[in-house]
Amino acid sequence: MGEIRDKAWRILKKHVSNDSLIKHCLAVEIAMGAYAEKFGENREHWGAVGLLHDVDFEKYPEHHPYHTRELLETEGYDEEFVNNIESHDRNWMSDRTLLQKTLLAVDELTGFIIACALVRPDKSLDNLEVKSVMKKMKDKAFAKAVNRETIYTSAEAMGVDLREHIQFVIKALSDAAKHPDYQEVPII
């Protein structure tokens, strides 16, 4: 991993100590990086936005993500970077760019997929099937905190088929879970 990633990781660790939140940020980083590659975009940049998208959540849960600016500006992140993070506010009023749509589309979904993997006997992402994720999405009692509507509408806004989107994110997470870069804090 390069300098951009090292810096983002250092800053995340400075502001976030909760292990689950760090795992969530890593999962979003992985999904963003995989989509950047698919779309021919800058993988490190998309990954860094993913890794830092909840950087203010632990300190300012009530005003998240609007404290991102003060935490990141002093670290040299520019307006565009901060905007990309602020755009994952569900009530964001402006049109979203492809990066911003993708961030919204992977934020809740990564958590839901990991929740699906954790209830399997082997607690693994390997061989987790799209149909089982789709089935659990309809089960209102399962992973109640995950907003299904956001998953549906954000995938639609991104212009991807929901099943293909789920499959893509499962594969990205499952590959990364085995990768040496993701052993310091395992995502699952």
CA distances 113 to 61, 102, 123, 148, Å, are: 23, 16, 11, 12
Residue 56 interacts with Fe ion (CB under 5 A): yes or no = no
Distance CA 173, CA 118 (A): 13
Please give the DSSP secondary-structure letter assigned to residue 63. T
Q: Find the shortest distance in angstroms from Cβ 71 to Fe ion.
A: 15
Q: Which two tokens stand for residue 149?
A: 């509507």
Residue 29 interacts with Fe ion (CB under 5 A): yes or no = no
CA distances 147 to 8, 28, 71, 144, 181, Å, are: 27, 16, 27, 8, 30
**Only segment of 6-14, 53-61, 122-130, 157-165 that touches Fe ion (CB under 5 A):** 53-61
Q: Which of 11, 35, 54, 170 binds Fe ion (CB under 5 A)?
A: 54
Residue 107 interacts with Fe ion (CB under 5 A): yes or no = yes
Residue 108 interacts with Fe ion (CB under 5 A): yes or no = no
**Only segment of 11-19, 61-69, 90-98, 103-111 that touches Fe ion (CB under 5 A):** 103-111
For Fe ion, which is the closer residue by CB, 27 or 127? 27
